Amino acid sequence: MSKPAGLVSATIVCLAVSVLFSPLRAPAADAVPAGGPLLSPIFGLPVPDGYREWPLVAVSHRTDNKDELRAILANPAAYKALHGGAIPLPDGSILAKLAWKREPMTEFEGAFRPGVAPRIEFMYKDSKKFPATGGWGFARFVEGKPADEATHKSCFPCHEAKVKDRDFVFTRFAP
Amino acid sequence: MSKPAGLVSATIVCLAVSVLFSPLRAPAADAVPAGGPLLSPIFGLPVPDGYREWPLVAVSHRTDNKDELRAILANPAAYKALHGGAIPLPDGSILAKLAWKREPMTEFEGAFRPGVAPRIEFMYKDSKKFPATGGWGFARFVEGKPADEATHKSCFPCHEAKVKDRDFVFTRFAP
């Protein structure tokens, strides 16, 4: 028995709406806004496509001025280099640092899970484009928008002071 | 100018040796030992191929009887389901739980990094094969070898008691 035309139209509209609002769509941070991607000041770098599915290099926990769990992901070029302990990383490498407030896991006393994500950050290796900052360009986004210029000026001096001998990268591969 | 035959042979041998011993090969935990893969007791499950490159679902921190940072990775079927909040997870889903002792990051006071990895664990969804344990099979490996039967008997009761309503999975997707 064929459906009446109205029911067919309603079904199509419902399908369209569920595709548009499906939780399987890329998270907002991945979306490129109208008018082109938002870029970090100084370095001019966007949120890289597909970063959330990149493999994990390592996790970390910062406790000094914040209580955050982190995950450092890497695009294939960077992952291959860090997995093999090969530094400096090749041009084209990108690292992503995801951070979340540490919050109690209600289902398991003494365990903590990711809470609010205050920012996402990226390091892009391009030795020709960024010679003054060890070949790295930096990008921090807060709620999908690039952080300000002062913030971006503060990235390299810390990496330079602490991990210059490891191509300015804190994270080591965690087997 | 063509190379002498001896030099060409030597180059081929060097290339072959460097491929064989490249640090970019899969880590030891991925390797299948002679005689076939090692299997978990009760459930008969191996370390799945390529799990270390699976995408990240979330991180966690356990503090009750151990101080460990964890990362939960998922194969494509499980990642898609958890990313979309779709439970129960489909058959074929596999989750990997990596754990590391939390150790101070010497380069950055107040930050912690992954230390020794005391074990790796997996959950395999196969509702036909594992009907008595919510459709999940469990596998824990310590230094590349399966943990004992008593350990494997303890997995499901805890998942059942605490997260039965979430298809027995503690971890939620961390955006």
User: Tokens 């041998």 belong to which residue?
Assistant: B13
pLDDT for B116 equals: 97
pLDDT at B150 over 90: yes
Whole-angstrom Cα distance, residue A92 to residue A145?
23
pLDDT at A102 over 80: yes
A110 touches chain B (CB under 8 A): yes
pLDDT for A37 equals: 83
The answer to whether the Cβ–Cβ distance between B170 and A107 falls below 8 Å is yes
Pick A56's closest partner by Cβ from B56, B79, B174. B56
- pLDDT bucket at A5, cuts 50 / 70 / 90: very low
The answer to whether the Cβ–Cβ distance between B117 and A174 falls below 8 Å is yes
Q: Is 0.95 topped by the overall pTM?
A: no
For residue A51, give the 3-state DSSP assignment.
Answer: helix
Whole-angstrom Cα distance, residue A8 to residue A10?
5
Question: Hey, which residues 128-157 in chain A have their CB within 8 Å of chain B?
Answer: none
B98-146: per-residue pLDDT in tens? 999 999 999 999 999 999 999 999 999 999 999 999 999 999 999 999 9
A62-91: per-residue pLDDT in tens? 999 899 999 999 999 999 999 999 999 999
Could you tell me where the DSSP H helices lie in A52-154?
A: 76-83, 149-153
Give me the interface pTM, i.e. the ipTM: 0.80
CA distance A6 to chain B (A): 30
Question: Hey, which residues 14-53 in chain B have their CB within 8 Å of chain A?
Answer: 22-24, 27, 29, 52-53
For residue A76, the number of C-alpha atoms closer than 13 Å in the C-beta half-sphere is: 2
The answer to whether the Cβ–Cβ distance between A69 and B54 falls below 8 Å is no
B161 touches chain A (CB under 8 A): no
CA distance A11 to chain B (A): 22
Whole-angstrom Cα distance, residue B71 to residue B59?
4
- Tell me which chain B residue has its CA closest to the CA of residue A163: B107
pLDDT for A124 equals: 98
CA-closest candidate to residue A130, choices A122, A120, A141 = A122
Burial class (CB in 10 A: 0-12, 13-18, 19+), A157: exposed
Whole-angstrom Cα distance, residue B72 to residue B89?
15
The answer to whether the Cβ–Cβ distance between B112 and A63 falls below 8 Å is yes
Say if residues A96 and A121 touch (Cβ distance below 8 Å). yes
